[in-house]
Amino acid sequence: MTSSIDLAVIGGSGLYKFPGLENTSRQSVDTPYGPASGDVVIGDFAGRRIAFLARHGESHTLPPHRVNYRANLWALQHLGARRVIGVNAVGGIRADMGPRVIVIPDQVIDYTHGRYTSFCDVEGAGVKHIDFSEPYTASLRTALIGAAHRAGVAVIDGGCYGATQGPRLETRAEIARMKRDGCDLVGMTGMPEACLARELELDYACLALVANFAAGCGDEAEISIEEIFAHLAAATAQVPPILAELLKT
């Protein structure tokens, strides 16, 4: 299927509907990999057509390890998307990546297990060895950083996203290991989304919204879910102006 979709956005925790989306229609896509997280909502934003999909479902019913990442990416491509922005809630490991900070990472370490990580994992599919040395599309990252600057939104350029299984938060020891490994952020949904987008030859980049410091990295004795969602709400409010500028390019 072809479409005039200019950008697809996959919303993470706290972003279940895209603010300001007008003239919307809902598309339910049958995929070879089962159901996507929900309907894809297509509409007008900043004078362009975008597709929006809530990664966890619009009522946040899907935990990170149960998201059908293959169906989500396939559905967006089927509807005509060629550029995809993944919006991900994360924890900060690096000292300058505290709550409400927005990061555009450039590397990934995958600690997940038991997820379908490739479209090759079906009977009769060919084996495809993608180059994943740079997991995010450089040109889209550059455009996203420039869009944030034009929108007046501070972002950090670069950082390593460590993807964990979830849905539980990590132990202090696990975060200490991830820090030794070179991770700057920790999240639960960055993989296999990024590598599946690469297999489909989609341009893909991540807007990582820091909801909290990871275990042992901040002053808090205990991480409060209420505080996490308050920080997420503040960071999420910065996403539409960034994407409005991105759509000008």
Binding site per annotation, positions for phosphate: 13, 55-56, 189
Taking the mean position of all CA atoms in its chain, how far away is CA 23? 24
Tell me how far apart the terminal alpha carbons of the chain are, to the nearest angstrom: 24
Q: Which residues line the annotated binding site?
A: 13, 55-56, 188-189, 212-214
Amino acid (one-letter) located at 44: D
Compute and round to an integer the Cα radius of gyration of the chain. Answer: 17
Q: Which residues line the annotated binding site for substrate?
A: 188, 212-214
| DSSP classification of residue 65 | G
Host H or E run for residue 27:
strand 22-27
**How far is residue 38 from each of residues 57, 192, 213, 215, measured CA to CA in Å?**
6, 18, 30, 32
Give the number of other CB atoms < 10 A from CB of residue 216. 15
Amino acid (one-letter) located at 230: A
User: In 48-180, where do the E strands start and end?
Assistant: 48-54, 83-92, 102-104, 107-110, 156-157, 160-163
The token pair at 211 is: 């909801």
| DSSP classification of residue 88 | E
Using alpha carbons only, give the angle 201, 246, 162 rounded to the nearest 5 degrees.
Answer: 60
